[in-house]
């Protein structure tokens, strides 16, 4: 694995954009086309999803991440055909309407392939090549970056950092072996994926330890349940008797805190639902941390 000095992450080309790591924090805006999204922002209608993507770009998103399958715990997997039906039309239309790169949030090879053919410029793999190693070869073939997440849902652990860092190194090695250039790899510690609430907090406390792998860090804390847990918020309920309050309405301030602290600890890219607000948090954090 290539050696890099701390903070020397270079640049990455993606679509028509170039990301100069370390100069500022970048924003990945989320477009969920899964009606059962944990965050309460799932959209079933393709035209509404496309309109949301355009809006997120206008609010400051540097990348749009399109996902068709809910990643909430205990969610029911959908078929490849259903995921393709949800994702590909949105990617195709957005790719022609926005200037920023489009990422496809999937761990399924055929979904990733067709999304890239439709105009996506990045693969976001929540399983870090554990479920589908061939995603790395696809990224190499298409010349696109890939996000590799450390996911412990199949292998819960006691010492979370002792699991996450080696797992990320394993995924990076797999990607490099498959031909993905070093510069085209982004890592994600996987907040909320197979971790306890205490472990999610521990990862945030120890983010500096992840920097040793030498690749840009994506942080995905937006609206996640550990924020509601810390803030002692009443569980959201979908019922006729109780009005459903989307997590975004209750977890916005908590999300902002995680973004600011993440940037202070070396995060390069934040994946968020509330782009306008978190772009402001990121800009303020950059002014303090990076002096810009």
Active-site position among 86, 223, 224, 265: 224
Tokens of 37: 């999204």
Pseudo-torsion of CA 107, 108, 110, 112, nearest 10°?
Answer: -20
Residue 129 in contact with residue 167, Cβ under 8 Å? no
Question: Which is the catalytic residue, given 24, 108, 195, 271?
Answer: 271
- Rounded Cα distance, 284 and 292, in Å: 9
- What DSSP designation does 217 have? B
| 280 labelled catalytic | no
Q: What are phi and psi of 205, to 5 degrees?
A: -70, -25
Contact 283, 59 (CB under 8 A): no
Q: What is the DSSP letter of 24?
A: B
Beta strands in 129-193 (DSSP E): 146-149, 185-188
Q: Indicate if 195 belongs to the active site.
A: no
How many Cα atoms are found within 13 Å in the side-chain-facing hemisphere of 49? 26
d(CA 254, CA 209): 23
Tell me the C-alpha distance between 101 and 118, whole Å. 12
Structural contact between residues 89 and 104, judged by C-beta atoms closer than 8 angstroms: no
Task: Name the residue among 93, 99, 97, 98 with its Cα closest to residue 16.
Answer: 99
Q: 3-class DSSP state for residue 80?
A: helix
Which residues are marked as active site?
224, 271
């Amino acid at each position: 694995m290539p050696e890099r000095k701390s903070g020397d992450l270079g640049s990455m080309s993606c679509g028509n954009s170039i990301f100069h790591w370390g100069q500022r924090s970048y924003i990945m805006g989320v477009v969920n086309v899964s009606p059962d999204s944990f965050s309460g922002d799932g959209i079933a209608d393709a035209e509404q999803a496309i309109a949301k993507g355009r809006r997120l770009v206008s609010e400051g998103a540097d990348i749009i991440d399109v996902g068709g399958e809910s990643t909430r715990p205990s969610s029911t997997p959908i078929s490849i055909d259903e995921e393709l039906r949800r994702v590909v039309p949105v990617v195709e239309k957005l790719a022609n309407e926005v200037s920023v790169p489009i990422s496809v949030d999937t761990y399924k090879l055929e979904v990733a392939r067709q999304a890239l053919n439709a105009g996506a410029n990045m693969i976001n793999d929540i399983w870090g090549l554990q479920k589908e190693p061939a995603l790395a070869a696809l990224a190499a073939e298409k010349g696109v970056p890939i996000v590799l997440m450390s996911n412990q849902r199949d292998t819960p652990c006691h010492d979370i950092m002792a699991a996450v860092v080696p797992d990320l190194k394993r995924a990076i090695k797999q990607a490099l072996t498959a031909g993905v250039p070093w510069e085209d790899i982004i890592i994600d510690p996987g907040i909320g994926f197979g971790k306890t609430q205490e472990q999610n907090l521990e990862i945030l406390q120890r983010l500096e330890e992840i920097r040793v792998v030498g690749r840009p860090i994506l942080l995905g804390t937006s609206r996640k349940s550990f924020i509601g847990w810390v803030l002692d918020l009443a569980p959201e309920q979908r019922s006729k008797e109780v009005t459903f309050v989307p997590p975004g309405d209750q977890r916005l301030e908590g999300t902002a805190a995680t973004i600011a602290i993440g940037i202070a600890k070396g995060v390069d890219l934040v994946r968020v639902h509330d782009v306008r607000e978190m772009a402001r948090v990121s800009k303020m954090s950059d002014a303090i941390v990076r002096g810009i």
